[in-house]
Structure 1
C-alpha cells in the first residue's frame, strides 16, 4: 500500500493502535493531542513509536478560518480545542504542499437533510389538520359494454381462471428444485474470500490513497465531516481513504428537530424527553442522510403507563428528572459534618485523628450521603443485611 507523504494523527489514531508507520512517511500531531492520552498502554506505544513524530502548531489565522468553517457546517459544538488544532494543521500542510488554492473555505452546498419518503413516526389523519393531496386525473368508472354481462344489474369483473397457472407451477417446481441442488452452499453469504467484492459492488469499499500528499487519520465523525467538506483527505485507521463519513445525531420524535449535541437529554426546541439517536451518513458534498430504524421498539413507551409519584420537598428528596432546568437539592453537608474536614483548623490531622467526630445520627448519615471527596450520591444498602426493627411494645 502506498504511503502518504504527510499525515496528521488525531487522538483516536493513537488510542486504536493504528499502524501509522505503514501509513505515513512523515507523521505530525499537535501537543494538545499528546496531553489527551493518559492511559498507560497508549503512552507505552507512543514512547516506542517506530517512526519519528513531529510536533507542530498551526498558524492562528488558519485556526480562526477552520473555526469559522466548522460553524458554517454545524460541527463546531462537537469539536474540542485539540480537534480544531488538528484540522488547522492539516490545512496548513495542504497549503504548503499544493498551495492555498487547494483549500475550500466555503461549503459548496448547504447541508441538507434527506430521509426516506415517509417518516416512521409521521402522523396520519390527525384531527383538525387537512393534508391536501394532488388532484389525480379522473378515471372513467363506466365499464365497457359487453354482451356477456349486459343482462346483469351490477357489473362485476370475471373471476380469473387459475387452473392454467397451477398447471404451469406444477411443471416448474421440479426444475426449480434441481437448480437449487446444483447451486453452491456459499452463494448469497458474505465470506472472507468475497468480502472485498461485496464491498465494491455495494460502493462501501474504501480506496487506496494513490497520489494523496496530505491526509488526516481520525475517528471523530465531526472532524471527518469538516475535512471532507474542505476538500481534504480523510484516512481510516487501516490507511484506506474514506469517501463517506457516518455519525449519529439526536432527533426528537415529537417536533422532528435534530441536534448534534449528544449530551442532551431533553429536546432543546420543545423541551420534551423525546430524543432518539439516529444514524447519519455524510457524503462527499456534505449532505446528511438520516437512516431510520424499522424496529418499532425504538420508541419505547416504558414509563408512560402509570402516573408519576407526587413531588416531595426537602433536602434529600429523590424526584424524577422531568425537565432540563429542574432544580435539585444540593445535599450539602451539615455544619457539624463540615467541622471534621476543616483544613484551616490548627489541630487538623488530615482526617486520621481517632478523636474526630463521626456523625451517625443525622438523616444524611442514615441515608449514607457523603461529600464529593468520599463519593457523592446515595449508596444502595445491602438488601440481605440484618437490620433492627424498632417496634413499640405495649
Structure 2
C-alpha cells in the first residue's frame, strides 16, 4: 500500500492554545498525523502575540475546523472535573476543549462505552456496540493458548491411526499377493513412476516458493506445535494465510500541555496527545486544606474554611491506597506568604439620604469600599448572587455588558476577591 493511502494515527484531533503558541508539534506534523483538526473560536482569540497569531492563521488555520461543543458535553466535563478537584483551576476555554474532545469521542465510537463516569471507576462504561453481550452469543469461554494447542495436537494422531490400520491390513493381503506376483510387479513400477513425478513437482514448487527459516522447517518436519508457530498451524489447517497487522487509529484525541486538563482527560479515558516533555506521569485528586487549622474539605468551590472561617484554604493533592488510607501530599519546602496580611482598614463613613458616599469614603481612591473579610458578610453574599446570575446571562443579550467594558474585575480564576490584595500598603492606596 502506498504511503499516501495509509491511515493516519488520529482521525479527529482537538487543539489547545499551548501547543499552538509554542509550535510543538509543528503544523506539518499535525496535518500528517491527523485526518481532521478541530479547535474553538476562543482558542484563536487567546493568542495575543502578533507573530504567533499570524503564523497560526497562515500555516494551520486553513486546515482547522472551528467548532463549539454542546452544553450537555460542557456539563459532563464540568461535573467530572468537580469530582477530581480540577474545576477550580480550569478556565472556560479549557473545559470547552475537553467537552469538544468528549463530543467527538461519542460521535466517532458510537457512545461513551470506553469512557469512565467516575474518577475512581475501574472499568469502562460498557462494551463496544459491535461485540455481543455475555450470555447472548458465544457462550463458550474464550479459547486460551493451551486449549488451542490441545485441539490441534488431537488432530494428528487420527492420521497416524489410519496409517497404522493400513499397515495392519497389509499382512492380511499378503497371501493373495503371493498368488499374483506379475500384477504386483507392474503395480510397484507404476507407483515408483508416480512417486518420482510427485517428488519432481514438489521440488519445482519449493524452488518457486521462498525458503523459510530453519527453525520453522524443523518444527514443521517434527510436527510439534509451539506458541511461536501456533498461528501458522491454525492458518495451515484453515487453508488461509496469516492476515497483515491491523493499523490502529485513534478516533478522537485532545492535544494539550495543561496538566489539569491532562489529569481530567486521563481520568475520564479520553485519548490524550501531549507535546514532548509535557505529559503528566501520575493521576491526582485534589482537595482544599486549611493552612490555619489543617482541616480538609472536598468542596472545591469554597473560599473560606468551614471550620475556622479564615480565607486560608489551599489546594493539595491526595490519594487513597488499596486499604482505604487517605494521604495528603504536601509541598516539601512550602512557606506561607504573609504579604498583605497587616493593614489598616479605613474608618466607616455614615451614609446620606440619597445613598451617595462622601468623596474620600473607604480611603484613597475608595479602595476600602466593599471590603470582604469573612463569609457571613452581606457583601460576600451579594457578590456570590451576582456571580451566579452573571453565569446564566447570554452573551448575545442586548442588555448584557461584558466585564471588559464595564470595568468590573474579580479575583483569580473568576473567584470573588477576598481582602485588600497583596499591595494593600502601596502609596496609591494611602
Q: TM-score range by the shorter chain?
A: 0.3 to 0.5
Please report the TM-score for the alignment, with normalisation by the length of structure 2. Answer: 0.41
Please report the TM-score for the alignment, with normalisation by the length of structure 1. Answer: 0.44
